[in-house]
Each structure stands twice: as structure tokens, then as C-alpha cells.
Amino acid sequence: MKALHAVLVLCGVALGALFASLAPAVAQPERAAAPPRFQISAFAGHAQNGDMVHGCYTIDTGTGETWVSLGSGGQQRVSEPRVK
């Protein structure tokens, strides 16, 4: 058991020396924060038949596309990307 302990200690010392000899990491330059890309607006109300309606609009501020999500359904595109 003592021999195994000695081997493990020697391996630890060798790994420590190896890691200590490696070059230190170079810090990355800071990047400017990107503006928020998506805006979300939630809504809820009653339909004409009395049912509860809820969902949200999602707007991609980068392309101008708009989607609507109703209840638990998937997203549907409401508008196309704007022309630049």
C-alpha cells in the first residue's frame, strides 16, 4: 500500500511540474455588448365567442420579421423581413 501511495504522489508531483511549465492563458480582448435582438410582447383577452385567447408576438429586430404564437400552438410568421 505504501508503494502505491508513493507512486501516486510522484505522479501528482510530475503532473504539477508539467502544468506549471505550460504557458499561461492569454486574456481575450473585451467585446462590445451586442444590442438585444428579439423583443417579445405578450397578450391575453377574450375572443368574440367567449374563449380565452393568449399568446405573444416575437419581433426580430435584426431582420424585422414578426411571429405570433397563440396558446400552445406553434409560431406563425406575420411579416416578412424588411428590405435593406
Where do the structural domains in the chain lie, given as residue ranges?
Answer: 35-84
The yes-or-no verdict on residue 30 having pLDDT over 90 is: no
| Rounded distance between C-alpha atoms, residue 40 and residue 36, angstroms | 11
The predicted model gives 48-62 an average pLDDT of 90
| Residue 36, CB-side half-sphere exposure with 13 Å CA sphere | 5
Residue 83 pLDDT greater than 80, yes or no: no
Q: What is the mean pLDDT of residues 44-72?
A: 89
DSSP state letters, 27-66: PPPPPPPPPP-EEEEEEEEE-TTS-EEEEEEEEETTT--E
Q: Is residue 57 predicted with pLDDT exceeding 80?
A: yes
pLDDT at site 47: 84
Q: Which three cell numbers stand for residue 35?
A: 444590442
